């Protein structure tokens, strides 16, 4: 394989690692969370899927982020959100967990924030 192929593969690894970590955590029946903090689980969803979206962002080149940022954002958000749907379905089969539309909404909002952050960073960089 040539250098460009290795770089393309390497840009995908962080998103795959984050997706794997999300999958592993959602396979647990109980996760340690602070008591008494209302909505803390939604914050966890926002942050996890924001990180996933930031990691998916480099799947598109800087040139693509500069010339077709809307398309890049939509594709990143859709990818992370679709993974959120698959994770919620996965949780339906995990004892002690449930399939929750509000969690998916938090996933999608986190993905929007992450994709927005990537777009802002891409705009600041020069090619």
pTM, rounded to two decimals: 0.91
Domain interval for residue 21: 3-124
48, 22 contact by CB (below 8 A): yes
Q: What is the pLDDT of residues 79-97, one digit of tens each?
A: 999 999 999 999 999 998 8
Q: What is the pLDDT of residues 4-57, one digit of tens each?
A: 888 888 899 999 999 999 999 999 988 777 766 667 889 999 999 999 999 999
| CA-based nearest residue to 101, from 115, 116, 85 | 85
28, 85 contact by CB (below 8 A): no
Q: What is the pLDDT of residues 91-115, one digit of tens each?
A: 999 998 889 999 999 999 999 999 9
113, 77 contact by CB (below 8 A): no
What pLDDT is recorded for position 127? 59
| CA-based nearest residue to 49, from 94, 119, 115 | 115
Q: How many domains does the chain have?
A: 1
* Phi, psi (rounded to 5 degrees) for 91: -65, -25
């Amino acid at each position: 394989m040539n250098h460009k192929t290795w770089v393309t593969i390497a840009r995908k690894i962080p998103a795959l690692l984050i997706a794997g970590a999300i999958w592993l955590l959602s396979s647990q029946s109980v996760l340690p969370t602070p008591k008494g903090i209302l909505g803390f689980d939604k914050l966890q969803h926002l942050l996890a899927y924001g990180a996933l979206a930031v990691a998916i962002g480099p799947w598109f080149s800087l040139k693509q982020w500069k010339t077709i940022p809307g398309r890049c954002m939509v594709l990143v958000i859709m990818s992370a959100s679709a993974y959120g749907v698959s994770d919620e379905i996965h949780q339906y089969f995990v004892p002690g967990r449930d399939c929750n539309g509000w969690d998916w909404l938090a996933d999608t909002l986190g993905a929007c924030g992450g994709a927005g952050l990537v777009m802002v960073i891409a705009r600041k960089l020069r090619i």
